[in-house]
Amino acid sequence: MNSIVSAFINEFSGKEEDVRVFFAPGRVNLIGEHIDYNGGHVLPCALEIGTYLAIRERSDSNIFFYSENFPEAGQIKIDRHHLVKDKKDGWTNYPKGIVHECRDLLPATGYDMYFYGDIPNGAGLSSSASIELVTVHALNTLHHLGLSKLELVKLSQRVENQFVGVNCGIMDQFAVGFGSLDQAVLLNSETLDFKYVPLDLGTYSIVIVNTNKKRGLADSAYNERRETCEAALEKLKKAFPITELCHLSSEDLKQVGSLLTDKEMKRVRHVVTENERTLDAVKRLEENDLISFGERMNQSHQSLRDDYEVSCHELDVLVEAANRQKGTVGARMTGAGFGGCTVTIVEDQHIEAFKTNVAKEYSRLTSLEADFYTVKVGGGTRELTKPEALAFKI
Ligand code: GLA
């Protein structure tokens, strides 16, 4: 095992003291799904796993990308003045998009960038937001750009929306930027007001279970859900003084049936109840009532499955299997859906049995094997100190 700094030097040569190392976490959303583009409240938290970037400026205008996760790709060289999205460039589109978005603020020189990530790729734990934030945080620091954390978050979301072409909300980038040790982030996605909610889980832990299902059409289905919400909002604006679907209450839902198609009604019902459920769940968490918090997680899953229709067989199998285990408080799909991961709260003494039983049931009912991660809630994006960087082995 090498430190990330010596791995960088092996790849790009030069002196260790010229290399700086940055970190951005992945995230898991505890509750509040598919409402960050409807003005709702969400409750994600940052994870201890994430993306590391060792970086050094160059004197020419080239950017060399290397990822420890894709060593077979070798170094990828891109001219700093020709940054365009290309599907075949895979993960490098994220840092490319960031440099492109910052182009007017940066000198015309390039970089050597060495990435290493310990988030499972494509599992819905925001590896892409993590790459975006680690890159923009590094550029902001290296060049003293003076951008605030919120500006870095918004800039990253813009890259995802405009450069990468995924019309996501702001939750992922916000959680990655503003994450805080042992705390979840309650974010109002309309106003961007937020507060930290301590996650004092005592003898319980967050267990993330990966379906390992490829999320084939996830992006187009995601954009389609957004369009349906927008169409429903336009109709409802004629009858209610609202600018976001989350301005409605579940009381209001009794009067909207005749204004919407059946499909729109189901989507709106999810959005409105999920927003209320999230606020209610936070209250339970603050009262240390983990059991009631878990019930809200289960209700969230049902609503995503039946009304928003973004779950899938594999996610449902994991949630149902989890709920049959001793020590499970609540389980739900997390992130965009159609695959990816579930998030579960499990009592520590039952975690080993939980893993064995859920793994067995999952492989019996699907053609796949599940992966389990008992995770810790970590801090947001930051630079590693020199001793931390030298000690961090990959
Ligand atoms: C993805 C998006 C987020 C959010 C979730 C669903 O992770 O990037 O903005 O919409 O899906 O809650």
**299-322: pLDDT as tens digits:** 999 999 999 999 999 999 999 999
**156-212: pLDDT as tens digits:** 999 999 999 889 999 999 999 999 999 999 999 999 999 999 998 999 999 999 999
Q: How far apart are CA 147 and CA 24, in angstroms?
A: 16
Q: Would you say residue 216 has pLDDT above 80? A: no
Q: Would you say residue 218 has pLDDT above 70? A: no
Q: Which of 125, 172, 304, 307 to mutate to test the pocket of ligand 1 (most atoms within 8 A of CB)?
A: 172
**3-25: pLDDT as tens digits:** 999 999 999 999 999 999 999 99
Q: How far apart are CA 166 and CA 163, in angstroms?
A: 8
Tell me what pLDDT residue 215 has: 74
Please work out whether the CB of residue 274 comes within 6 Å of at least one atom of ligand 1. Answer: no
CA-closest residue to ligand 1 atom 11:
336
Tell me what pLDDT residue 57 has: 96
Mean pLDDT over the full length of the chain: 95
Alpha helices in the chain (DSSP H): 4-12, 93-101, 127-142, 149-158, 171-178, 218-237, 262-286, 290-306, 313-323, 351-365, 386-391
Q: Would you say residue 134 has pLDDT above 70? A: yes
Tell me the CA–centroid distance for residue 37 and ligand 1, in Å: 8
**Residue 33 corresponds to which amino acid?**
E
User: Which pairs count as long-range contacts for 213-220, CB under 8 Å and 24+ apart, including other chains?
Assistant: 213/312, 213/314, 213/338, 213/339, 213/340, 213/366, 213/368, 214/122, 214/339, 215/122, 215/124, 215/336, 215/338, 215/339, 215/340, 216/338, 216/339, 217/338, 218/336, 218/337, 218/338, 218/339, 218/340, 219/166
Please work out whether the CB of residue 215 comes within 6 Å of at least one atom of ligand 1. Answer: no
Tell me what pLDDT residue 220 has: 83
For residue 342, which phi and psi values (nearest 5 degrees)?
-105, 155
Kind of pairing, strands 111-117 and 20-29? unpaired
Angstrom distances, CA of residue 237 to CA of 189, 240, 248, 256: 19, 5, 10, 11
Please work out whether the CB of residue 171 comes within 6 Å of at least one atom of ligand 1. Answer: yes
Q: Would you say residue 101 has pLDDT above 90? A: yes
Tell me what pLDDT residue 217 has: 58
**325-383: pLDDT as tens digits:** 999 999 999 999 999 999 999 999 999 999 999 999 999 999 999 999 999 999 999 99
**221-231: pLDDT as tens digits:** 999 999 999 99
For residue 215, which phi and psi values (nearest 5 degrees)?
-90, 70
Burial zone of 161 (CB within 10 Å; 0-12 exposed, 13-18 middle, 19+ buried)? middle
Record the pTM.
Answer: 0.97
In angstroms, what is the C-alpha Rg of the chain?
A: 21
Split at pLDDT 50, 70, 90, the class of 90 is confident
Q: Would you say residue 89 has pLDDT above 90? A: no
**Domains detected in the chain:** 4-199+378-391 (3.30.230.10), 205-375 (3.30.70.890)
172 catalytic per annotation:
yes
**For residues 114-137, average pLDDT:** 94
Q: Would you say residue 63 has pLDDT above 90? A: yes
Please work out whether the CB of residue 172 comes within 6 Å of at least one atom of ligand 1. Answer: yes
**Nearest Cα to Cα of residue 211 among 362, 374, 389, 29:** 362
Q: Which of 36, 161, 226, 307 to mutate to test the pocket of ligand 1 (most atoms within 8 A of CB)?
A: 36
Tell me the CA–centroid distance for residue 32 and ligand 1, in Å: 10
Q: Which of 27, 125, 156, 171 to mutate to test the pocket of ligand 1 (most atoms within 8 A of CB)?
A: 171
**For residues 252-271, average pLDDT:** 95
User: For 282, how many CA atoms within 13 A lie in the half-sphere containing its CB?
Assistant: 24
Tell me what pLDDT residue 166 has: 87
Split at pLDDT 50, 70, 90, the class of 283 is very high
The answer to which of 75-84, 105-114, 130-139, 294-303 has the lowest mean pLDDT is 75-84
Q: Would you say residue 219 has pLDDT above 80? A: no
**For residues 149-161, average pLDDT:** 97
Quote the percentage of the chain above a pLDDT of 70. Answer: 99
Angstrom distances, CA of residue 61 to CA of 99, 115, 163, 233, 366: 12, 19, 21, 46, 49
Q: How far apart are CA 374 and CA 22, in angstroms?
A: 24
Tell me what pLDDT residue 241 has: 96
